[in-house]
Amino acid sequence: MRRAGLPADLRARLEQARLDTLALLRVLDHGLGPHEAPTAPLTALAEADADCAEALCALDQPPGALDVAAMVRATTATLARLPRTRQHVREALPQQARDQVTRLEQDIRATLDSREAYNDIPRT
């Protein structure tokens, strides 16, 4: 049953956002050869991913446990900026690494299981 005030697609959008982020992070975990991952953009990405994880967790809380309107506002804002945040990470990479990262990111994203959107989220 869906709670009043929650967009019907919110859970699906959060899951997709987390999986898209996870794919990028896994590529970066494989290493960029002699290049370092960009710290500041990665910090912003980690914060946005944490916001999405928190929102997924909040969706499973009992009615009345959270301010739905505030959660939807904050979550919608995060979801709106997350694609650009991921792009900032890619743009901060050396040019020669970008194409490879994008290609590997797509390959990894295609293999992710939807349950991985709930990594690091306590399930009750």
pLDDT value of residue 10: 96
pLDDT value of residue 39: 85
Ordered mean pLDDT values, 10 residues apiece, the chain (124 residues): 77 97 92 71 95 93 85 96 96 87 94 95 76
**CA 9: distance to chain centroid?**
16
Domain positions in the chain are 10-118
Torsion (CA) 49, 13, 73, 105 in degrees, nearest 10:
30
pLDDT value of residue 1: 45
Cβ count near 74 (within 10 Å): 15
